[in-house]
Every structure is written in structure tokens, then in C-alpha cells.
Amino acid sequence: MTHLVTMRDALADPHLLGSVMPGETWKAWRALLIAIMGEPLDDDERAIFKALTGRDREPLELVEEFWAVVGRRGGKTRAAAVLAVYFGSFVDHSEKLAQGERGVIPFMAASSRQAAVAFGYAVGIFETVPMLSGLVINQTAETISLSTGVDLEVRPASYRTARGITAVAAIGDEAAFWRSDNSANPDTEILNAIRPALATTGGPLIVISSPYARRGEVYATWKRHFGPKGDPLILVAQAPSKTLNPSLPQKVIDRAIERDEASARAEYLAEFRTDIEAFVTREVVEACVSLGVYERAPVAMVQYKAFVDPSGGSADSFTLAIGHLEGTGLKKTAVLDAVRETKPPFSPEAVVADYAALLKRYRVSTIVGDRYAGEWPREAFRNHHITYEASASPKSDLYRDLLPYLNSGEVDLLESERIVSQLIGLERRTSRSGKDSIDHGPGGHDDVANAVAGVLSTLKTKASGYTLDNVGTDEEISRAWRRLQYGGWF
């Protein structure tokens, strides 16, 4: 690719990008953008660069990847938009594109709506800079087509939408929060899909995100490449919000820390959270899966149990799981026989009718369900002669109770990526009081996992002859937990 204007000159010229990042407030970002392009820094800029990247020297060639781990309101979205506008406007890609082929700069995020935020910054630059507005030959709500042969596009973060394009650069927004019910590692799959799209042009992958838990591609890349030992062409910058945006009022940060220190340290101080960990590993869950078994037919003389996670049909899925116990003694295995999920929108009454028919096939006349669902599921299932009992435990406790059985292989799961990905997507959070809770992460879902955990943990807990509700002292609770985990008295 041929750079028609250097990044330094573009940022210095008020008729180009100089009006987008002006003054001292944007000084640190300007140093980073110049370094990303492989241009030399002066001494002051190099000091800023070292403080943000942990590296003594700038790369002096265009980086392959740039990762910005920056707190909220730190200016990273505008910086990403500036990079997109630069690669769309000031770089000649004609030698890398076939005749008639257009290069693409995708703006990717967890949803199209979120991706449109960074895209909107790019739209604003083209609309307010006269010398750039003349490059726009067509514009829609999600695409800007430029006379340079490049299209800036909004795309949801998906490995499917990342394929089949020739990208001259790519923007990944808030990658630490990419979630998918159909994949345990959506960020990895998406980035692996977009990198080949950049191979022909040599364009950079730009990933911006506030930090979150110590897992995923953002954390792995930061851990491996931040500082002097990282790949010179994979540049990682990390900075609190106020470092890159000095105009952010300190009182905003102080109040956030007072409300929730762990969250605020990630949101504004750009620190990966230590109070959130993965609930269970993929290896543990997959070890419990019976490959090739997608549902087990009802068998005579087997007693089945069921758990439902109702939904009114507005946002969450309505799910059902059916299972039974196999084996003798303390090492009985909780076997998952059938799982159903109905995604919204749907008629709750129609779903209950379908689920009731399935339950009758398995001779289930009493089910356990989410205790927060209210009265309507009781009445709806009662109309089909099925008794609905509210769960004595919240879902966090159901997940907690299930974990030792997953670890010891005492459950038998069906082959379903949705079950696996939702279980793996669960997070264990430790509050300031020291109490743990288990739930899905931001943007995730656990409707299927809740039903599966409900039926399997209930089967195993009842088979053990006690619940944690009937023990009181710390020692008794500790003994009970060890019994759950190891299957014997201590």
C-alpha cells in the first residue's frame, strides 16, 4: 500500500485530520497513531509511547495489529474512527485490489448498534472536514463508499460476516465483551476469520476495548505482547481513561470507585478484573459429553425429573431439561435426556403445551422451575395436569452444586454446542463481602444452562440425601460441601 499523506501530516493539517484530534488533550493518542503507521516519534512522543506500551522504541514500520486496552471515555472509539478514515482516504490500495474489487474496512462489535457508534465517528469526520467529504460517493446507515475504492461498513462481530471480504483495515470494538451462545470462544473465531481478509492488503487489525476478566483474546494478547518482550508488529497499549482523556472529570472516576471499586478499576483504570473468573473449563465440560447423542428416548421403569426456566417471551428463552439417575451407591450419574429451548418471540401458552406433551412422554407429572417466574407457569402447566414447584435454590446455587459433579464426571451431557458454550460462559464473581455468585457474563445468556444445571444438580443433590439448606455451622457446611465434591463423609 502507498501512503499518500503521512499520519503526522494528516493530524497536523486542520484541513485533514487536524481538527479531529486537536490540542494537548489528544497528544497521547496522536503519538500512538503516528507510531502505529511506522513513522518516527520525537523525544516527547517517545516518552508517551513508552508509558503507554512499555516499549522503549516505536516499531518504525506499519504494525500488523494494534490493541488498545483503555478505560471508558478514554477516546479509543474516536481514535479507531480516525484510523479507519486514514486508511480509507489517505492510502492507495489499488496495487493490492483486483480490477473492480473494493476494499472494505469493517467496524465490528457485539451488535450492529454498538459497531455503529465507531462508524458514526467516521461519518462525522467525513461530514465536517470539507476536503474529505468530497471523497464520499455513496452513504447509507451502515456503509460509506469512497472514491478511493474503499467501503467503511458496520458489521456485527461474527466469524461468518468476517469471511469473503478483502479488508484494508479492520476495527474490533469492545472485543472483551464479544459473546455467542453458539461458541465458547467467539472472539478467537472472529479474529481468526478476519485476519485472512487482511492478508492480501497488509492492512492492520485494530482492536479497542475496556478490559474485563482475565480470559479471552484481549487478555491473552495483552499478557503476551504488552511491553518490550512482545512481537514488535503487535502493538498493545494500556492506559486509564484519564491518561488518554485528561478532560474527564476526576469526580466521575471517584464516584464510580466508591460505588463498585472492582468494576470501576476495570472501567476507568484499565485493570483486568480479578474478582471474575471462569466457572468451568471447556475441557471439563466436554469430558462429560456423550458424542453423537443428541437426545435419549424415554425408557420404561426409569424415573425422570425435569426443570424449566420460564420466560414471558420478551427477551429470554423458555427452556426445559429432562434427566434421570443411573448407577448404584454414592457414584450415581445424572444423565441428561432431553433439552428444549424456545427463543422469543413466542406464545407462552403454546410453548407450555409443547413442553407438557414432551413431559408426558417421559412420564413426568411434577417439574421444578425458576422461583422468580411468578404464578403464571404454575397455572399454565396445571392446565395440562403437571405440577410446577418453585426451585428452593437460586440459579447461582444450582451452578455451584453442579460444579463438583462436572469436575468428577458424574454427569452425562448431550452433544450440544449451546449447552457447552453457555456453561463455559458462566462467570464466578466475588463481591466485596467475599460471597461468590455465578451468572452469565455481559451480553451472554444462560437459559439452557440454567435448565440443565437445575435438573442435574437436583438429581444429584437429592440422591445424596441432603441439601445445604439443612446444615448450619461453618464446619457442617464445609463437611457438606466436601461430601458434594467427593461423594463421602469427612
pLDDT attached to residue 273: 85
- Indicate if the pLDDT at residue 234 is higher than 70: yes
Burial of 113 (0-12, 13-18, 19+ CB in 10 A): exposed
Q: Looking at residue 67, what is its pLDDT?
A: 97
pTM of the model as a whole: 0.73
C-alpha cell at 409: 464426571
pLDDT of res. 488: 39
Segment 286-302 mean pLDDT = 94
The pLDDT assigned to 482 comes to: 47
202 within 8 A of 1, measured Cβ to Cβ: yes
CA 406, CA 485: separation in Å to the nearest integer? 10
**pLDDT tier for residue 376 given thresholds of 50, 70 and 90:** confident
> pLDDT for 388-423, tens place per residue?
998 888 888 999 999 999 999 999 999 998 899 889
Q: Is the dihedral of CA 209, 211, 213, 216 positive or negative?
A: positive
pLDDT band, residue 233 (cuts 50/70/90): very high
Burial of 415 (0-12, 13-18, 19+ CB in 10 A): middle
Task: Say what the pLDDT of residue 463 is.
Answer: 54
- Cell triple for 278: 471462569
Share of the chain above pLDDT 70, in %: 89
Answer whether residue 469 shows pLDDT above 50.
no
* CATH of the domain spanning 2-274, picked from 3.40.50.300, 3.40.50.150, 3.30.70.1290, 3.40.50.720: 3.40.50.300
323-343 confidence digits (pLDDT tens): 999 987 667 899 999 999 998
Whether residue 156 is predicted with pLDDT greater than 90 in this model: the reply is no
- CATH number for 282-486 (one of 3.30.60.50, 3.30.420.240, 3.30.70.2860, 2.60.120.10): it is 3.30.420.240
Identify the pLDDT of residue 464: 45
Report whether 310 contacts 373 (CB < 8 A): yes
Average pLDDT value over all residues in the chain: 87
Which pLDDT value is given to residue 288? 95
| 167-202 pLDDT tens trace | 999 999 998 888 655 555 578 888 988 899 898 899
- Domain boundaries in the chain? 2-274, 282-486
Give the model's confidence band at 362: pLDDT under 50 very low, under 70 low, under 90 confident, else very high: very high
From CA 93, how far away is CA 63, in angstroms rounded? 17
pLDDT greater at residue 22 or residue 158: 22
Average pLDDT over residues 58-73: 95
Examine the pLDDT at 60 and tell me if it is beyond 90.
yes
Question: How many Å apart are CA 132 and CA 472, to the nearest integer?
Answer: 70
Tell me: the pLDDT tens digits for 236-270? 999 999 999 999 999 999 999 888 888 888 999 99
Task: Give percent of the chain above pLDDT 90.
Answer: 62
Q: What is the pLDDT of residue 432?
A: 60
Helix (H, G, I), strand (E, B) or coil at 465: coil
Per-residue confidence (pLDDT) for residue 269, from 0 to 100: 92
* Confidence tier at 381 by pLDDT (50, 70, 90): very high
* Residue whose entry in the numeric block shows the C-alpha cell 434421570: 324
Which CB contacts under 8 angstroms, 24+ apart, belong to 321-328?
321/448, 321/451, 321/452, 321/454, 321/455, 321/456, 322/358, 322/359, 322/362, 322/364, 322/455, 323/455, 323/456, 323/459, 324/459, 325/459, 325/460, 325/463, 326/412
pLDDT in tens, 100-131: 889 999 998 887 888 888 899 999 999 999 99
Does pLDDT of 209 surpass 50? yes
